[in-house]
Amino acid sequence: MEDRIIGRVYRVNGPVIEASDITDAMMMELVRIGEGRLVGEIVKLAGNTAVIQVYEDTTGIRPGDDVFGSGMPLSVELGPGLIGTIYDGIQRPLEALLEASGEFIAKGITRPALNREKKWHFIPSPGLKAGDTIAEGFALGTIKETDRVSHKILVPAGKGGTIKNLTAEGDYTVADSAAEIETASGIAKIDFYHRWPIRKPRPVKQRQPLKIPLVTGQRVIDTLFPLAKGGTVAIPGGFGTGKTMTQHAVAKWCDADIIVYIGCGERGNEMTDVLMEFPELIDPRTGTSLMDRTILIANTSNMPVSAREASIYTGVTLAEYYRDQGYHVAVMADSTSRWAEALRELAGRMEEMPAEEGFPAYLPTRIAEFYERAGYMTVLDGEEGSVTIIGAVSPPGGDFSEPVTQHTKRFVRCFWGLDRQLANARHYPAISWLESYSEYLDDVSGWWETHSGTSWLKNRAEIMELLQKEVRLQQVVKLVGPDALPDSQRFIIEVCTLFKNAFLQQNAFDDIDRYSSVEKQVRMLEIILTYSRRGADAIRRGVTIVKLRHMKIVQDIARMKLSVANDDTTAMDKLEARLERAMDQLESIYE
Ligand SMILES: Nc1ncnc2c1ncn2[C@@H]1O[C@H](COP(=O)(O)OP(=O)(O)OP(=O)(O)O)[C@@H](O)[C@H]1O
Ligand SMILES: [Mg+2]
């Protein structure tokens, strides 16, 4: 198919090529250019001219070079072998390319996204046989892809019908035939993989309301600004405030089944960190390697901008494919600002009319289209699956009023704003408790309350109210000094300081602290609230703040995040009992 010449290069402008003498081409068609067969996509068609966005370095391409058509849009390959692989923005397998061409990837080199030699063990769905009818999106059988991922071989969209032939249990490559199905438009041969255009959302049966949190093990997130499975969140933050660290922490510890991590225009060494670290890390819930659930897409700052533009669609399409198999998938994009900059650069080269800060007028539409691909769905075969999207935003100068942050805010329902002052004070994660929000609180409160048996939403509201009061009290302190405040108000500041140190700050490098279970978070908050409530009571009875502050138990509370293991409920029970006793004692003196 690649030898069908559909036109000729007319002008080269960086990653954008204009072609003339175009015949028989379609919008968004995947094309190849010149002798090197560089991969590109038709982004504009007018008469017999086309504008092509090229995904590789175009030096060496000259006017007159041939443009070859493929007859299909830019697509990804979907099948077993995706997990654990590192791809670039157009799903070229980076390791295989490096093996083929040495240290730098030679131009025009192609390797299939899915290994064509590797054999997989296929087990047909129980009871399924020739003569049965099967609808699109249903499983012909399964392949064990990794220790934790059982990969369903789905009937691709539009290929449902009567099974003529179903491949028996055995070992096959992705290019072998899984079945032959008689569809309304003839016999379809189904392989163990299929292609899907990256810019087109995969079909589902129905969108569901969000109810289940994506538990991340990060206390400030789960307890204060929870994300729902199928939801969307933005992490905006200035240079070096912890966007990547936050994304990595969520990628490592969240309770999604599959992680798609898109390194989009960031430094190469950040991706190397992921590559070195993930295989070593063990998922606390399953005991398997974290790489067994992770797909990496690396389009670092030194790679072509147009592939960066494509990378987020490639990532979200892979995520939807696992969602369609009934999995909960989390997609991280770091950073969507670099993606928007790619969009701006390409738009500039296509001489499109710039809107705000040089971004094209369709920037908000594109951002919306990306986040809309998140959701909790009933998939075609009736199972449930979800795609959650977590996008980092890097506003220049940390100024959240710039277009990418502002538009993103319109389309996400959760916002983890990173605060420069907190980062400078080494309060990590530097997620601001004043600027961040989650619109999923009511959605997920039912889950939290059944799983923890506590008034989760009420407890959260109580601590948030104290944090807000503290801001006002701190302003007073600034004006007139702490001594002007009555003990009851100074105690609020005391409780908030404890909460920030003992709860909100979380050390990503500590073996215990890096991940807090649901149970541990709930108990920690309760203990701090007990201290707050009983302390306020004690002050009313005449206990001084100095006495409260110097209780030995307060130091133990401050250390519980580091000293109490996630499943050690006995230690939490003891801590709580000791706190109650210490408070009883303190009050008894004043009775
Ligand atoms: N949760 C954390 N625990 C410990 N240290 C952290 C944490 N978050 C951030 N840091 C510190 O801050 C540094 C910068 O973090 P990170 O690279 O995530 O920032 P960034 O916002 O992604 O930066 P850039 O704008 O360069 O992409 C880290 O190298 C680390 O030292
Ligand atoms: Mg970063």
Q: Identify the residue whose C-alpha is closest to ligand 1 atom 8.
A: 242
Q: Which of 195, 246, 194 lies closest to 222 in space, CA to CA?
A: 246
Antiparallel, parallel or unpaired: β 384-393 and 232-236: parallel
- What is the Å distance from ligand 1's center to 244 Cα? 6
Best mutation site among 239, 243, 245, 511 for ligand 1 pocket (most ligand atoms within 8 Å of CB)? 245
3-state DSSP assignment of residue 267 = coil
Distance from residue 239's CA to the centre of ligand 1 (Å): 9
Tokens for 338? 């670099």
Consecutive H or E run containing 67:
strand 66-73
3-class secondary-structure state, position 116: coil
10-residue mean pLDDT series, the chain (591 residues): 82 92 88 89 90 89 93 93 92 79 66 93 96 96 94 95 96 96 94 95 97 97 98 96 93 94 80 75 79 88 80 96 98 93 86 87 94 98 97 93 95 96 96 97 96 93 97 92 90 96 95 94 97 95 90 95 94 96 86 61
As assigned by CATH, the class of the 117-192 domain is mainly beta
3-state DSSP assignment of residue 510? coil
Using the Cα atoms of residue 149, residue 150, residue 153 and residue 154 in order, give the sign of their dihedral. negative
Ligand sitting nearest the alpha carbon of 420: 1
The answer, yes or no, to whether any atom of ligand 1 lies below 6 A from the CB of 394, is yes
Say if CB 74 and CB 82 are below 8 A apart: no
Write the residue with the smallest CA distance to atom 3 of ligand 1: 508
Hey, whose CA ends up nearest to atom 26 of ligand 1?
A: 240
The answer to whether 375 and 412 are in contact (CB under 8 A) is: no
Q: Is 436 in the pocket of ligand 1 (CB under 6 A)?
A: no
C-beta 245 within 6 A of ligand 1? yes
Q: Give the residue extent of every domain in the chain.
A: 5-73, 117-192, 206-391+403-412, 454-589
One-letter-per-residue 3-state SS of 274-311:
HHHHHHHCECCCCCCEHHHHEEEEEECCCCCHHHHHHH
Residue tagged 């899907």 (tokens): 196
For the record, the structure tokens of 409 come out as 């805010």
Which pair of tokens denotes residue 108? 């025009």
CB of residue 428 inside a 6 A radius of ligand 1: yes
Q: Which atom of ligand 1 is nearest to the CA of 247?
A: 18
The answer to whether domain 206-391+403-412 has CATH 3.40.50.300 is yes
Q: Is 417 in the pocket of ligand 1 (CB under 6 A)?
A: no
Q: Which CATH architecture has domain 5-73?
A: Beta Barrel (2.40)
Ligand 1 atom with minimal separation from the 508 CA: 3
| Alpha carbon distance 430, 427 (integer Å) | 6
Collapse the DSSP code of 158 into the 3-class scheme (helix H, G, I; strand E, B; otherwise coil) and give the result.
coil
The predicted structure's pLDDT at residue 265: 79
Q: What is the full DSSP assignment across 382-417? A: S-EEEEEEEEEE--GGG-TTSHHHHHHHHH-SEE--
How many residues in the chain? 591
Query: CB atoms < 10 A from the CB of 186, how many?
Result: 8
Written as six digits, the tokens of 438 are 């989650």
Asked if residue 347 has its Cβ within 6 Å of ligand 1, the reply is no
Ligand 1 atom closest to the Cα of residue 430 is 8
- Cα R_g (the chain), whole angstroms: 27
Classify domain 454-589 by CATH number. Answer: 1.10.1140.10
Which residue matches tokens 């035939």? 177
**Residue 123: in which H helix or E strand, if any?**
strand 120-124
Q: Which pLDDT value is given to residue 266? A: 74
pTM for this entry = 0.94
Please indicate whether residue 265, judged by its CB atom, sits closer than 6 Å to ligand 1: no
Residue 1: its pLDDT value, please? 47
CA distance 570 to 366: 51
The answer to whether domain 5-73 and domain 206-391+403-412 are alike in fold is no
Residue nearest to atom 11 of ligand 1 (CA): 242
Output b/e per residue, 433-448; b: 16+ Cβ within 10 A: beebebebbebbbebb
The 3-state DSSP class for residue 51 equals strand
